């Protein structure tokens, strides 16, 4: 394993500037790591030639002193972002051979900043899942293994499982994810990474395959908080092509990492300690509170009374929106087509063949909850509860500046260790979903290991558009936690 | 709410998703299970609460009326599974 | 005098509501920046958003919002300060997103009204239920290939205003009058060009029948009728069909039907009529549309004088009959033309010339009011020549035809052809004396009671004077001389 792949983005940026190595060398080191790690199945499409071409261009710009904020840094791009000329599949058969004629705003921004994309990372199909097991191209394997039994393959979490695995295995320095109910934060927790879902509206959704429009947000997954701040800065920004894109100034996220959180009030929501919360996670959380206290912050118990309804709310709203968003996948203009004697038969066969079980499940639920006679009882009801959830947070933020919770209810589980009940899988997002329903910024960082040597994460939730405070507190915790563990063999 | 096979068949048709007869029972069970789960929301008091369809805090932005897009039929048709000249193609629809 | 259809079991009333889809005049589409022109090569006016590529998002066209508000004001309707865009979900080949962005519970415009000008000169008021903005769909061509349909998305995403009337119409004529008036208003406002042949204005008719005094019965919808004439035919046919169904003991089914113009019949649409559950919900890619009173006021101030106001003014200022005034104001350009001709002249004469010879000339030469066969100034000049007795009314018609042919001004033509009217009393007397002298026997017959011969004498005098004698003077002098 090359020394170059052990660097953080911040370190690599510095090294490139100091000419200790080139962008091409950086790219090659990571491409070699990728080639050696095909067993993780983290990538849907690898683009080494394109990457090297970009790296060469980065070196030219570096030489001229025209380096962008992400110049020469190798990253992975979740295969939910449409990338011009490069196959973009959403890890679905229905888009298996789709080559976009356009570039998503966010991936375009990263490229304009000089980032070198090594490939498109795998995900749960259409971003629906918490394990990356629903990808049409096979599950992704977590580079982390249990100390007790390293032979068991573990999930990296989802839906941004491919990105998480690639970053944790040091195949890339950072990767983009998207988060609708926890799809950046939960895999970050399972893979020992920092992942941030910014405020809804911070990142443009243009060119990202839509799952649930009122929830989807792009965000970075990295190994350090500084790297997340760095990468986030090259992803956010107002986009006139997205009507839900916020026209707000982009702060200097790195500058926010002052290390000083004295006087900050940290909310500890009592509802995030449900019956059955594992002792391990509970202790992790308490340790986190102690770290913040030591750093001069004040923990404050708060109540977010509607927390327990967030999962149900999400599983009405998200499927409803997705059932409509996925109607365009019909075999007419792009993607897979299965022939039919009639138009309707073509639609039905194409979509049955193209979508996996979880996607189908969510489309059916979504169609049902919007249908005549049920719209008020389910969809409208859910949107009302959503407002209550958002109001809970707004009220809490009158007395606290940031909220600390666990990210996931457990460490990464084994590939074969799930049951048939879809709801069991959904429970993985119980701590992350409320943040999404309220559109708030949420970050996960690793602060400890489970008794079986697997990373565990804590979540920080902030006020709308206050990623700066969230990042600042995260960095303080990162230092205090001193999490240096890496997957075996790295 | 418990769904029966007929309801599942209807929803699948609305969603243009072909479902095999032998899958209907299992699917009905799964979906019923999910609906039962989400029905817990009925116990929440939402009197006087306005539904929240967006967490975006701003006004709907309006575009200036100018032609700024289109005129690239090759891009539009590039991924078409079937095309004839400049058209998309589907099985004939009889009205 | 209400319209009824007499069936076997008695008299039946019609209940008609119309939904008009009017394409908004705008350069680009409702939610995308692609062009909206008619007749372009297939799929050339299609953006990635219109093609519903993965990850595409809608951004609303500000002008389309203004056009909808302008139309609402023109329909004397309530403008809703908050409206919501909702997705109407269904599958069809010309609907790339698998949903249409429309408005459902909260449309941009509420209740209003349209005043119909009936052929007999009376007026009727038809209520408007609502107006909302929505995307148009693409076009399917089903007759280009034996087993395939071809899809062109150029029209997909063009802004439409759906204008829904209340079910206030009671006859095919009223329906025709409604569409005619609505089209006129939209053209006056500049919000839709009303070109039914090109499809920029389409009509769906909801038709039901009932016996007098009954509540509403089941209605059927007749879709996409593309001319006012076909609309009347379709409504008439459908009403009779429904009456036959009822009188045969059956029930009318709520369904969508198409009008077959060749056969003059409506028929049920084969396509999936089972539960069109559109699952409307607010589009999460958009936000509610909030308008301000100032925004609406600003638009109100730019409204032109609309047909009803103009008609009232024409009746008042020009002493025209409601019927004539109604005809003149149907097209704004025609109304403007008329006023240019009538200014400072006899309005009734101006009206007759414009509606008569001028309109006939337009039809004959295939010209339009934007490119008239005779200019308003020249037509006015012709009327001046009649008014000051330079030429007779009858000769003026000949002069007019020459104006159409040659494009020359009336005075020029009169001069060139020497058509000045003869008004010299002496000359006329001489002509009359000559005629009477040459027709002594007829004079005697006239004096002994054969009054009809008067016309003969007039005709002879006109012949003698080459048609240029002032008819009024001829009559007067002839009467005196004949006794």
A106: containing domain: 1-490
In chain C, % of residues over pLDDT 90: 73
Q: Which of A78, A109, A111, A472 is catalytic?
A: A78
The helix (run of H) or strand (run of E) holding residue A28 is: helix A23-36
State CA A37 to chain mean position distance. Answer: 21
A341 is catalytic: no
* C444 vs C336, higher pLDDT: C336
Number of structural domains found in chain B: 1
**Residue C142: CB atoms within 10 Å:** 13
Residue A314 contacts C, CB cutoff 8 Å: no
Mean pLDDT (whole number) for A88-113:
98
C281: pLDDT strictly greater than 60:
yes
Interface touch C43/B66, C-beta < 8 Å: no
User: ∠ CA C254-C259-C265 to the nearest 5 degrees?
Assistant: 95
Q: Given this model, what pLDDT does residue C272 score?
A: 45
pLDDT surpasses 70 at A318: yes
Task: Please report residues of A whose CB lies closer than 8 A to that of C54.
Answer: 82, 88, 90, 95, 98, 100, 209-210, 328, 334
- Per-residue pLDDT of C88-114, as tens digits, reads 999 999 999 999 999 999 999 999 999
Parts of chain B with a pLDDT under 50: none
Which of A210, C35, A174, A254 has its CA nearest to residue B68?
Answer: C35
Residue A159 catalytic?
Answer: yes
Rounded to the nearest angstrom, the minimum Cα separation between A203 and chain C is 13
CB pairs under 8 A between B and C: 137
Q: Are C189 and C70 in contact (CB under 8 A)?
A: yes
Per residue in A283-317, pLDDT tens? Answer: 999 999 999 999 999 999 999 999 999 999 999 99
Among A145-149, C118-122, C273-277, where is mean pLDDT lowest?
Answer: C273-277
Question: Per the CB < 8 Å rule, is A385 touching B60?
Answer: no
Tell whether the model's pLDDT for residue A341 goes beyond 70. yes
Task: Using pLDDT thresholds of 50, 70 and 90, give the confidence band for residue C480.
Answer: confident
Q: Which residue of C has its CA nearest to A210?
A: C55
CA distance B60 to chain A (A): 7
pLDDT interval class at C425 (50, 70, 90): confident
For the record, the structure tokens of A215 come out as 């929830």
At C170-183, the pLDDT tens digits run 999 999 999 999 99
Cα–Cα distance, A459 to A481 (Å, whole number)? 14
Could you tell me which chain C residue has the CA closest to the CA of B70?
A: C47
pLDDT tens by residue, A438-479: 999 999 999 999 999 999 999 999 999 999 999 999 999 999
Query: What's the domain count of chain A?
Result: 1
CA distances for C200 relative to C25, C160, C475, angstroms: 9, 9, 56
Residue numbers in C near B85 (CB within 8 A): 42
Nearest to A243 among C55, C96, C285 (CB): C285
Q: Distance, in angstroms, between C302 CA and closest chain B CA?
A: 18
**pTM for the structure as a whole:** 0.92
| Residue of chain A nearest C93, judged by CA positions | A332
Give the active site residue among A107, A160, A183, A444.
A183
Contacts of A372 in chain B (CB under 8 A): none
Residue B40 has a pLDDT of 95
Residues of the domain holding B32: 5-43
CB-CB neighbors (< 8 A) of B16 in chain C: 91
Domains of chain C: 5-299 (no CATH), 307-417 (no CATH), 425-482 (1.10.10.410)
C-alpha dihedral sign at C435, C438, C442, C446? positive
Give the residue with greater pLDDT, C477 vs C232: C232
Asked if ipTM goes beyond 0.90, one says yes
Segment (H or E) for C182: helix C172-189
Q: Which of A58, A131, A159, A245 is catalytic?
A: A159
Q: Verify whether the Cβ–Cβ distance C275 to B10 is below 8 Å.
A: yes
- CA–CA separation, A212 and A207 (whole Å): 14
Q: Which residues of A touch B76 (CB under 8 A)?
A: 101, 333
Q: Give the closest residue to A347 by CA, choosing from A320, A367, A321, A327.
A: A327
Over residues A36-41, the mean pLDDT reads 97
pLDDT (tens digit, 9 = 90+) per residue, C290-320? 999 999 999 999 999 999 999 999 999 999 9
How far B50 CA sits from the closest chain C CA (Å)? 13
Give the per-residue SS3 of C144-174. CCCCEEEEECCCCCCEEEEEEECCCECCHHH
B94 CA: distance to closest CA in chain A (Å): 9
Query: Is the separation of the CB atoms in C465 and C431 below 8 Å?
Result: yes
- A75 Rama class: left (phi>0) / alpha (psi -120 to 50) / beta: beta
**Using CA atoms, how far apart are residues A237 and A220, in angstroms rounded to an integer?**
14
Active site residue A183: yes
pLDDT confidence of residue A476: 98
Chains that touch C (3 or more CB pairs under 8 A): A, B
In a domain, B50, yes or no: no
B20 domain residue, yes or no: yes
Q: What is the mean pLDDT of chain A?
A: 96
Report CB contact under 8 Å: B64, C49. Answer: no
H helix or E strand, kind and range, residue C410: helix C410-417
Chain A contact for C272 (CB, 8 A cutoff) = yes
Q: What whole-number distance in Å separates Cα of residue A343 and Cα of residue A427?
A: 38
Q: Look up the CATH number of the domain holding residue A325.
A: 3.90.1300.10
Q: How many CB atoms lie within 10 A of CB C480?
A: 10
What ranges in A113-269 are assigned the alpha helix state H? 161-168, 185-190, 225-233
- Is there a contact between A329 and A453 (Cβ–Cβ < 8 Å)? no
Q: What's the confidence (pLDDT) of residue A43?
A: 98
For residue A62, the tally of other CB atoms under 10 A from its CB is 19
Which of the residues B1, B8, B11, B15 would you substitute to probe the A interface, choosing the one with the greatest number of A C-beta atoms within 10 Å? Answer: B15
Tell me the two tokens of residue C280. 């409307």
pLDDT, average across residues C459-483: 85
């Amino acid at each position: 394993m090359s020394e170059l792949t052990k660097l953080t983005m911040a370190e690599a940026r510095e090294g490139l500037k100091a000419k200790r190595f080139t962008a091409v060398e950086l790219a090659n080191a990571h491409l070699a790591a990728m080639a050696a790690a095909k067993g993780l199945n983290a990538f849907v499409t690898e683009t080494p030639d394109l990457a090297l071409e970009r790296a060469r261009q980065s070196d030219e710009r570096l030489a001229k002193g025209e380096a962008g904020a992400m110049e020469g840094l190798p990253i992975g791009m979740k295969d939910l972002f449409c990338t011009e000329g490069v196959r973009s599949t959403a890890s679905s058969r229905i888009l298996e051979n789709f080559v976009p004629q356009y570039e998503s705003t966010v991936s375009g921004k990263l490229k304009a900043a000089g980032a070198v994309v090594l490939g498109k990372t795998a995900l749960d199909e259409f971003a629906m899942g918490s394990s990356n097991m629903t990808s049409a191209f096979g599950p992704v394997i977590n580079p982390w293994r249990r100390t007790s039994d390293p032979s068991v393959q573990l999930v990296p979490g989802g839906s941004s499982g491919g990105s998480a695995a690639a970053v944790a295995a040091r195949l890339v320095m950072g990767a983009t994810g998207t988060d609708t109910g926890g799809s950046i934060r939960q895999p970050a927790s399972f893979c020992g990474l920092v992942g941030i879902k910014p405020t809804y509206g911070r990142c443009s959704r243009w060119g990202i395959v839509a799952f649930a429009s009122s929830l989807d947000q792009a965000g970075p997954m990295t190994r350090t908080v500084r790297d997340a701040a760095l990468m986030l800065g090259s992803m956010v920004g107002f986009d006139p092509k997205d009507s839900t894109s916020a026209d707000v100034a982009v702060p200097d996220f790195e500058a926010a990492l002052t290390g000083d959180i004295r006087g900050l009030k940290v909310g500890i929501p009592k509802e995030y300690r449900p019956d059955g919360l594992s002792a391990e996670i509970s202790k992790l959380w308490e340790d986190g509170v102690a770290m913040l206290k030591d750093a001069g912050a004040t923990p404050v118990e708060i109540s977010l009374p509607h927390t327990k309804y967030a999962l149900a709310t999400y599983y009405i709203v998200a499927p409803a929106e997705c059932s409509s968003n996925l109607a365009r996948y019909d075999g007419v203009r792009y993607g897979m087509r299965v022939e039919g004697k009639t138009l309707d038969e073509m639609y039905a066969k194409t979509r049955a063949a193209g979508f996996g079980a979880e996607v189908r499940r969510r489309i059916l639920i979504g169609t049902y909850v919007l249908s005549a006679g049920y719209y008020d009882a389910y969809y409208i009801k859910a949107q009302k509860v959503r407002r209550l959830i958002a109001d809970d947070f707004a009220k809490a933020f009158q007395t606290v500046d940031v909220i600390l919770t666990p990210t996931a209810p457990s460490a990464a589980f084994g590939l074969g260790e799930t049951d048939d009940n879809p709801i069991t899988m959904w429970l993985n997002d119980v701590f992350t979903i409320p943040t999404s329903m309220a559109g708030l910024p949420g970050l996960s960082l690793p602060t400890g290991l489970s008794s079986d040597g697997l990373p565990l994460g804590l979540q920080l939730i902030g006020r709308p558009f206050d990623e700066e405070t969230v990042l600042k507190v995260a960095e303080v915790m990162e230092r205090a936690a001193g999490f240096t563990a890496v997957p075996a063999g790295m | 709410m418990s769904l029966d096979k007929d309801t599942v068949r209807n929803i699948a048709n609305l969603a243009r998703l072909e479902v095999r007869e032998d899958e209907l029972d299992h699917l009905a069970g799964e979906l019923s299970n999910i609906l039962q789960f989400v029905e817990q929301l009925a116990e929440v008091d939402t009197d006087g609460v306005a539904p929240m369809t967006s967490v975006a805090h701003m006004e709907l932005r309006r575009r200036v009326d100018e032609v700024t897009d289109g005129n690239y039929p090759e891009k539009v048709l590039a991924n078409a599974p079937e095309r004839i000249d400049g058209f998309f193609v589907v099985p004939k629809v009889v009205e | 005098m209400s319209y009824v259809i007499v069936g076997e079991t008695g008299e039946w009333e019609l209940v008609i509501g119309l939904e008009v889809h009017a394409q908004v005049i705008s350069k680009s589409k409702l939610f995308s920046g692609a062009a909206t022109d008619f007749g372009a090569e297939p799929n050339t006016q299609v953006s990635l958003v219109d093609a519903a590529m993965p990850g595409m998002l809608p951004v609303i066209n500000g002008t389309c919002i203004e056009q909808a508000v302008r139309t609402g004001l023109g329909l004397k309707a309530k403008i809703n300060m908050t409206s919501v865009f909702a997705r109407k979900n269904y599958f069809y080949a010309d609907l790339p997103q698998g949903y249409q962005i429309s408005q459902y519970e909260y449309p941009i415009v509420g209740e209003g009204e349209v005043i119909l000008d009936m052929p007999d000169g009376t007026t009727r008021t038809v209520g408007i239920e609502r107006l909302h903005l929505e995307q148009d769909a693409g076009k399917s061509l089903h007759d280009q290939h034996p087993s395939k349909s071809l899809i062109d998305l150029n029209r997909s995403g063009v802004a439409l205003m759906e204008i829904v009337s209340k079910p206030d119409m009671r006859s095919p004529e009223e329906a025709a009058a409604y569409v005619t008036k609505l089209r006129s208003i939209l053209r006056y406002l500049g919000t839709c060009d009303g070109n039914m042949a090109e499809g920029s204005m389409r009509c769906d008719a909801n038709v039901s029948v009932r016996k007098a005094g009954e509540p509403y019965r089941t209605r059927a919808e007749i879709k996409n009728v593309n001319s006012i004439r076909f609309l009347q035919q379709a409504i008439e046919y459908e009403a009779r069909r429904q009456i036959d169904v009822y009188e045969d003991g059956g029930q009318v089914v709520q369904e969508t039907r198409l009008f077959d113009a060749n056969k003059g019949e409506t028929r049920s649409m084969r396509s999936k009529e089972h539960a069109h559950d559109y699952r409307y919900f607010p589009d999460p890619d958009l936000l509610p549309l909030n308008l301000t009173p100032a925004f609406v006021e600003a638009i109100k101030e730019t409204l032109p004088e609309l047909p009803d106001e103009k008609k009232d003014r024409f009746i008042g200022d020009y002493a025209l009959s409601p019927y004539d005034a109604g005809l003149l104001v149907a097209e704004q350009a025609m109304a403007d033309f008329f006023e240019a001709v009538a200014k400072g002249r006899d309005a009734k004469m101006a009206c007759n010339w414009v509606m008569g010879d001028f309109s006939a000339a337009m039809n004959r030469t295939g010209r339009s009011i934007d490119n008239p066969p005779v200019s308003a100034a020249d037509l006015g000049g012709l009327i001046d020549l009649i008014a000051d007795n330079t030429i007779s009314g009858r000769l003026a018609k000949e002069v007019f035809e020459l104006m159409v042919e040659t494009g020359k001004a009336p005075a020029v033509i009169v001069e060139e052809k020497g058509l000045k009217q003869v008004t010299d009393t002496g000359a006329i007397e001489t002509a009359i004396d000559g005629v009477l002298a040459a027709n002594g026997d007829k004079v005697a017959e006239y004096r002994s009671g054969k009054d009809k011969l008067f016309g003969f004498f007039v005709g002879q005098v006109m012949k003698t004077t080459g048609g240029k004698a002032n008819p009024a003077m001829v009559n007067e002098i002839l009467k005196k001389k004949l006794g």
